Amino acid sequence: MHIVDEFWAYLLRVGVDLTENGGFFHGPVFDDGSFEYIPIPEWEADSSYCKTVYGEFTYGNTVGRYRRHAFADYIQDKKDKKLLQNTHVHIDPDFRNHTYGDVAVRREGNSLKPISKAAS
């Protein structure tokens, strides 16, 4: 599909949001316009799977890049904070391992390839 109208836009759902699957809270946007990307929760996988795929990354122990606060610090609702404190984050895309999508199913085409300096 070729879009010629300059006012078209695509919206993607990326990171936490207020929905049940999205974690029940919005990631923070700071006064200077910067934001902290916070991944959605990993609800469906068991704990041993999460530790294998995502390591020990939970909302309680994963620290953001810019403000150096644990992701759980941004959760306002006490009930949701308690629920998510030890919940694993669903790291997707995973820039460290250059993958996106279901990491457990390593299909052709679900890997991110770094752009070489020669290509830039």
Mean pLDDT, rounded, of the chain: 76
**If you average pLDDT over residues 4-22, what whole number do you get?**
75
CA 31 – CA 78 distance, rounded (Å): 24
Name the amino acid, one letter, at 96.
R
β-bridge partners, 17? 23
Residue 4 reports pLDDT greater than 90: no
Note the pLDDT of residue 1: 56
Contact 22, 56 (CB under 8 A): no
Instruction: Return the pLDDT at 120.
Output: 46
Q: How confident is the model at residue 97 (pLDDT cuts 50, 70, 90)?
A: low
Q: Is the pLDDT score of 38 beyond 70?
A: yes
* Beta-bridge partner residues of 111: 99
Please state the rounded mean pLDDT for residues 13-41.
86
Predicted pLDDT of residue 81 = 93
Distance between CA atoms of 114 and 117, rounded to whole angstroms? 9
Q: pLDDT-based confidence at 19, cuts 50/70/90?
A: confident
CA–CA gap between residue 92 and residue 102 (Å, rounded): 8
Q: Is the pTM of this model over 0.85?
A: no
Phi, psi of 111 (to 5 degrees): -115, 145
